[in-house]
Chain A
Amino acid sequence: MPDIVVCVKQTVDVYQLKPHPETLEPVFSQAQSKISDFDLNALEEALRIREKGGGRVSVVSAGPSINQLLIRETLAMGADEAHIISHPLLSTYDGRVTATVLSKLVEKAGRWDLILCGEASLDNSDYQTGPRLAEIFGVPHLAYVTKLEISDGRLKAWKSMEDGLHVASCSMPAVVTVGLEINTPRLPSLLMIRAATKKPIHEYRLSDLGLTEEELNPSVTLRELKALKVERRRVKLEGKPEELAEKLADILVREALAR
């Protein structure tokens, strides 16, 4: 019966981001926020483990202003409780700050055997949180996991790497980071979301976690964020299929050489 903590991040829905036509900076005001996709996979995996072997699933989340409604969705999916902190300073952060704050929330969640995280976040894609948490707690870390099994208190993970599939195992406690392939997260129905108001969301202040504002200063700062401008060439080829294929091949070769 492993007790599991799942780290979830609220991010802006990057698919809705449009660049400002002149500055090319993303217009955040138009986009809604959501739980980072990979984190939902992590939560789904935790819930499936609990369905098989029992245990408790807690969700932790930190950010500049956590939307309780989104946290409620994770509870509606089946998490038992949530531990969250909102602090304005968390609007600028780096992997170190995030992992530090999350580790404090994990401690608040109580005893745990497994921490599950998305391998990266939808917005920043830093791939930092999981490994750093493992480092802080001094436990093994399995990354890029596409299939996870637990037997006799040990984890067995299938990791899809560039050179093929790695199968690794380790003891618990441990940190596991997962990607989109591992499962399809369940969708809580509206009734479930409403019913989840009964489940506890514990909200903390910085001091509750034993942290100071200095500790939230990131070591890495973001200088500039701009959209890549992509334009189609709008070249139209005409002719018979054979000729077209030839023309297309020519263009591709020319382009490749030009690079």
Chain B
Amino acid sequence: METPFRETYALMPPGTDITMYIVLTPFAALFIYGIYRRLRFYGLETAWAEIFRDIPKRLSLMARYALLQRRVVEEKVAGLMHVMIYAGTIALFIGTALVFIDYDILRLLGGSLLRGDFYLVYEFSLDLLGLAFLAGLSILAYRRAVRREARLRPKLEYLLTVAGLLFIGVTGYVLEGLRLSINPRGWGGFSFVGYALSHQMAAIPGVDTRLLLYQSLWWSHALVAFAMVAMIPYSNMLHLFTTLANTYFATLRPATPGKMTTPFRLDEVDPSAEIKLGARKVSELSWRQRLGLDACTDCGRCEAACPAYAAGTPLSPRMVVQKLKSEMWSGGDRDWFEEGVLEEDEIWACTTCAACVEACPVLISPLEYILEARRALTLEGKLEKRKVAMLTNLARFQNPYGFPASERSSFLEELYSMGVKRADEVSEAEYLYWIGCASLYDSRSREIVRSMVKILMAAGVSFTVLGDDEICTGDPARRIGEEGRFQELALANIERLKKVKAGKILVHCPHCFNTFKNEYTDFGLEMEVVHHSQLIGMLLREGRLRLSRPLAERITFHDSCYIGRINNVVEEPRQVLSMASKDFVEMARRGRRSFCCGAGGSTYWYEVPRRERESVIRLEEAVKTGARTLVLECPYCLQMFNDAVRIKGMENTIQLRDISEIVAECL
């Protein structure tokens, strides 16, 4: 048999190669201009020095999330679809690049690459991956046209993109089939799809007709391919590049979505200096944040995970990102709120639960844009009454409830009478137990403290409290965008905490936990922070605590966002609960994929128009497990579910208990 080789331009008239390059030029120019324009939008030119920092870590992120698509494949159907299209596209690209090398470089040098066995492998692999490509596109069509998944937005652009890709894939095979029918080759079977098609093609009468058909299809295949490439920087296909860049630069984000940026230090800035905070225009975002907008593929995974969206508020994290992206692409720089790009309620509906951050396959944080917008809105100060009230309470009473300090004195007295000592009364203690505003002022949440005190005393843990010196950590202020007030409270707290002779802070409020652990560090507080679920777990493991009377009833557990997803404390509470009950069952959404109760990010303090409550949606999930008790690890979750139970009239169906209450009961 003759050595197999690639016949480039075989059935095309002479001079096609030159013509093709002439035709390609405007498309290439359009592509290059588009990329240039995008880079201008990001302002990457100001950040180019940033590109070379931290390279190994960034490459590894890029490899994991963009190249290997770790998160994309977490969903079966969507993941399979994407991987097939992705692999097919890369194969087609490499295939074309090899032809270029073979024909336009090596041929001129008198060499050749695509011949012999290598060529046969080449043909076989391309045909195989081409099938994967078409299969992927079919799944895509199925999801959009048959399953009509709610999170997939119909858009003409997407339809055209898919049509273009399909056209390229199908015509590729047809061309192969026609070629083999006109010019049969002994090695034709390696292009197995084209080979099979060649028999059908042979049915078309007349070689000349087939040749004409071949030549016109060849040009249309080429033109569509050129057009698709040219359109990359003007369409969603740009994600081919932007997702690489976005995952590469993801190290520039705060390490966890629980940490907000510290744009200034209150104790360092000149008091009369005017500071701009947050963003309400695309130009007020950082270059990395603008690049992030462009990496969004509109996949809708963040939206599907978002509790505020599920509750029917005006918020969809995907739409926030997409709207800002279109705003950037329009080239303008309008005020988002004055020009109706975003609605204020959209921004206020977010519970900062970070489910969107966890869901985004390409490491975009929709939450980040929301928080920037909040800062800008709050800086302007035009807030509605309940937000104003909460912030005024923080300013005047150092707690969000607006209770004077005297309101908690009887509760503190009760604790002292149980034997709890204030930090200024003891020389040293292992833990400072931070009680948190919820439990200082809300009577139901005080039960958590009572249980914890019981547990700590039973286990002989040395601890102390701040008593009247405890004021709000500032979390609600920071999450609503009042950075100055947050820092005022934080700095006051840190000054007091530094005087306390205890190495660790114990908290049962996930929001306090997060603030101490991730945010106070920017202001110089370095103390180990322990959530009560972690401490209880440790005490049980070490045998310092024994559960002599485990529960018989069925219980289930709701992870708080700020402990589970955001701070990755997932195992400890489960270990505790499997010891506390013989019948501990899980809800479908759990751990890092838990579903917010609807109280985070300050949303506890105001109302946003909604169809449903997050807490009600979640409560129904809990009830479905058949559990008699829903165990919680956050005082705000407790209050949210309390409302949900009342609304649903489920007082007799399910009980709500903090994990500490369960454990105290089993002692």
Residues of A bordering B, CB below 8 Å: 13, 16, 30, 32, 34, 77, 184-195, 197-198
Contacts and interface: CB of A to CB of B under 8 A. Distances in A.
Nearest to A40: B388
B396 A189 contact: no
B271 A32 contact: no
B331 interface: no
A189 B392 contact: no
A191 B388 contact: no
Interface of B: 266, 271-275, 277, 378-385, 387-388, 391-392, 395-396, 404, 406, 482-485, 487-488
Contacts of A195: 271-275
Chain B interface SS verdict (over half): helix
8 contacts: A30-B406, A187-B383, A187-B388, A190-B482, A192-B379, A194-B272, A195-B272, A197-B272
Given A16-B404, A198-B272, A187 B391 contact: yes
Contacts of B271: 194-195, 197
**Top-5 shortest CB links A-B:** A190-B484, A186-B381, A191-B484, A194-B271, A187-B388
A195 B275 CA distance: 9
Contacts of B392: 187
Contact of A30 (B380, B388, B404): B404
B272 A192 contact: no
Given A16-B404, A198-B272, A190 B380 contact: no
B422 to A, nearest CB: 22
A189 B384 contact: no
Given A16-B404, A30-B404, A30-B406, A189 B381 contact: yes
B216 to A, nearest CB: 64
Contacts of A192: 379, 381
B379 to A, nearest CB: 5
A184 B483 CA distance: 21
A245 B388 CA distance: 39
Contacts of B273: 195
A46 to B, nearest CB: 15
Contacts of A193: 484
Contact of B388 (A16, A184, A198): A184
Given A32-B396, A189-B379, A191-B275, A184 B385 contact: yes
Contacts of A187: 381, 383, 387-388, 391-392
A32 B406 CA distance: 13
A16 B392 CA distance: 14
Contacts of B484: 189-191, 193-194
Nearest to A185: B388
Given A30-B406, A197-B271, A191 B381 contact: no
A191 B275 CA distance: 7
A234 B286 CA distance: 61
A193 B488 CA distance: 13
Contact of A77 (B381, B387, B396): B381
A189 B376 CA distance: 11
Nearest to A13: B396
Contacts of A188: 381
B277 A191 contact: yes
A97 to B, nearest CB: 29
A198 B392 CA distance: 23
Contacts of A190: 266, 395, 482, 484-485, 487-488
Nearest to B379: A189
Interface-centre pick from B266, B378, B382, B396 (highest chain A CB count, 10 A): B382
A198 B271 CA distance: 9
Nearest to B381: A186
Contacts of B277: 191
Nearest to A199: B272
B319 to A, nearest CB: 27
Contacts of A185: 388
Given A184-B383, A195-B273, 15 more contacts: A30-B404, A30-B406, A34-B396, A184-B385, A186-B380, A186-B381, A187-B387, A187-B388, A189-B379, A191-B275, A191-B484, A194-B271, A194-B272, A195-B272, A197-B271
Interface-centre pick from A13, A184, A190 (highest chain B CB count, 10 A): A190
A197 B382 CA distance: 21
A198 B380 CA distance: 18
Contacts of A184: 382-385, 388
A32 B485 CA distance: 19
Nearest to B385: A184
A133 B567 CA distance: 60
Nearest to A78: B381
Contacts of A13: 396
Contacts of B380: 186
Contact of B485 (A30, A34, A186, A189): A189
Nearest to B384: A184
Contacts of A194: 271-272, 484
B522 to A, nearest CB: 17
A249 B575 CA distance: 55
A188 B482 CA distance: 10
Nearest to A196: B272
Contacts of B381: 77, 186-189, 192
Nearest to A48: B382
Contacts of A198: 272
Nearest to A194: B271
Given A191-B277, A194-B484, A186 B379 contact: no
Contacts of B275: 191, 195
A175 to B, nearest CB: 26
A187 B388 CA distance: 6
Contacts of B485: 189-190
